[in-house]
Amino acid sequence: MPCHPQSSLRRLPLVTLLLSERCNSRCISCDYWRHGRAEVDLKSVRRLLPSLERLGTRMVLISGGEPLLNPEWEEIAALLGERGLKLWLLTSGLSLAKHARQVSTLFDVITVSLDGADRPTYAAIRGVDAFDVVCRGIRAAVEAGAPVTVRVTLQRGNFRQLPRFVDLGRALGVAQVSFLAVDVANTHAFSRREGLVPGLALLPEDLPELERLLAGLERDQAEAFRTQLIAESADKLRRSILQYFTALCGLGPYPPVRCNAPEFSAVLDARGGVSPCFFIAGPAQARITDAQALGEVLNGEEMAALRQSIRRAERAECSRCVCSMWRDLHDPAAELTPLPVKRSA
């Protein structure tokens, strides 16, 4: 049954497409590599194009699993780009050196997950000894002219390297380094089926050290904040990192969350499922099929009710979210990417 007109979603500027469930990392906070099998194919993306056009989609975030493991990733990216869509790649970077030139040509922005500032830390968190491989891939993409950003998921195993990540990003030539806290509260994200590995979050005795590191970062990396080499402001890092881990330790409230992501974006998984965001699963009926296009899924009764529940702050996941997004829905030029979109020459 279709939703009430006031609850309908007529525009979808940003779509996240999980191109593959498979992954070549073995991250301790993720289970895609354990269970992932499904992949999006070129035929299904071709069928999706009319829906994206009707919904006014402007950008597609290609993610996974590891999207570059999909054997048709290049053809899919080319097809989307030919339709005028901006493309943003989120990758582990393990295959980036091999495909740097193609990736740099096809994608407007490349974001590489990098959770260690040295080989031992990277291997302990990502499960593979590939720090040098990933750094080579980042350098190759930068040299090919692509805007590359690095995303660091801070956790107990790497938070002491906070300043080193900024130095590493600068040395690699990236456009931006961003930080978010490890998610330990969500059962839907990252294909988790077997529960979380203990020890990801900081302990109470770690909090003073984290506070000192953040203060030192603000003092010593003022230029990086000013030029936005560090994506977040110092105040935002204190809220989203220090206050979050303090709350996890039961020593204070969670940082306030302002997010309207389900009002301008959706996540499409490799099996045709549609979710309002990465951290909240869509209804079982929310699935793209030959008989049900994306617009119909988004405006089905169950999905509209879920969006309404999120809008009313009734979902517990939202209060502990580590990656909220807010955009001005009345501004058609509102930026959807982490930095200005640039097409490489």
Question: Looking at residue 340, what is its pLDDT?
Answer: 42
| Cα distance from N-terminal residue to C-terminal residue, the chain | 47
Which residues sit opposite 320 in a β-bridge? Answer: none
Provide the token pair at 125. 């968190």
Number of other CB atoms surrounding residue 313 within 10 Å? 11
Lowest mean pLDDT among 96-105, 172-181, 187-196: 187-196
Tell me how far apart the alpha carbons of residues 83 and 65 are, in angstroms, rounded to a whole number: 25
* Stronger pLDDT, 208 or 6, i.e. the higher one: 208
Provide the token pair at 255. 């940082």
- Consecutive H or E run containing 27: none
Residue with tokens 């050196």: 97
Question: Looking at residue 119, what is its pLDDT?
Answer: 97
The confidence band for 194, taking pLDDT boundaries of 50, 70 and 90, is: low
Question: Looking at residue 27, what is its pLDDT?
Answer: 73
Instruction: For the chain, give the percent of residues with pLDDT over 90.
Output: 76
Q: 59-100 pLDDT, tens per residue?
A: 999 998 899 999 999 999 999 999 999 999 999 999 999 999
- Is the CB of residue 76 less than 8 Å from the CB of residue 19? yes
Q: What angle do CA 56, 61, 62 make, to 5 degrees?
A: 125
| Residue 338: pLDDT over 70 | no
CA-CA-CA-CA dihedral for 91, 96, 100, 104, to nearest 10: 10
Question: Looking at residue 23, what is its pLDDT?
Answer: 86
Tell me how far apart the alpha carbons of residues 205 and 254 are, in angstroms, rounded to a whole number: 18
> What 8-state DSSP symbol labels residue 130?
-
The crossing angle, in degrees rounded to 10, of helices 207-220 and 162-172 is: 40
Contacts of 276 (CB under 8 A, 6+ apart): 261, 262, 266, 267, 282, 303, 306, 307, 310
Q: Pinpoint the alpha helices (H) of the chain.
A: 32-35, 42-54, 73-82, 96-106, 119-126, 131-143, 162-172, 207-220, 222-226, 234-237, 244-248, 294-298, 301-311, 316-319
Q: 214-227 pLDDT, tens per residue?
A: 999 999 999 999 99
pTM of the full structure: 0.91
Q: 131-182 pLDDT, tens per residue?
A: 999 999 999 999 999 999 999 999 999 999 999 999 999 999 999 999 999 9
Output b/e per residue, 273-304; b: 16+ Cβ within 10 A. bbbbbbbbbbbeebbbeeeebbbebbbbeebb
